[in-house]
Amino acid sequence: MQQSELEEAKALFEAGRNEEGRLRLLRLLQAEPESVAALMMLSGDYYAAARYADALRVFERLVQLCPDSGVISVGLFNTLMQQGSGDAAVAEVRRFMAVADPQRERETLAQYAQLCLQLAEQKR
């Protein structure tokens, strides 16, 4: 059931029927609240629609489910930055760096290391 629901939601988003796509995902999440795929799709839609408070809520749930996912961490970081929560965004970088698998998340860790250097330069 989940795969067909996800495909239907994706098709709705691609057709520009975002509200219907969101409703389809929310219905799916009522039945399967830990569906990472549905949560990822929903968080991306909220972010793209500049619904950052909603995106934040979903990304925080995703971090609970997948604390060592670079994609999720970057989504949460970007959402926090869009909300003007720089300190919380930096805290997310620290949290992720503490739990990330250095082999699997090499690219994300390198991006975050570069970001930390840039932030340090800005504070000088």
Chain-centroid distance of CA 106 in Å reads: 18
Q: What mean pLDDT value characterizes the chain?
A: 92
Q: How many domains are there within the chain?
A: 1
pLDDT per position as a tens digit, 19-53: 999 999 999 999 999 999 999 999 999 999 999 99
Q: What CATH number did the domain enclosing 44 receive?
A: 1.25.40.10
Confidence (pTM): 0.88
Instruction: Check residue 53 and give its pLDDT.
Output: 97
The yes-or-no verdict on residue 1 having pLDDT over 70 is no
Q: Residue 116 — pLDDT band, cuts 50, 70, 90?
A: confident
Please give the residue range of the domain that contains residue 56. 2-123
Task: Work out the percent of the chain whose per-residue pLDDT is above 70.
Answer: 98
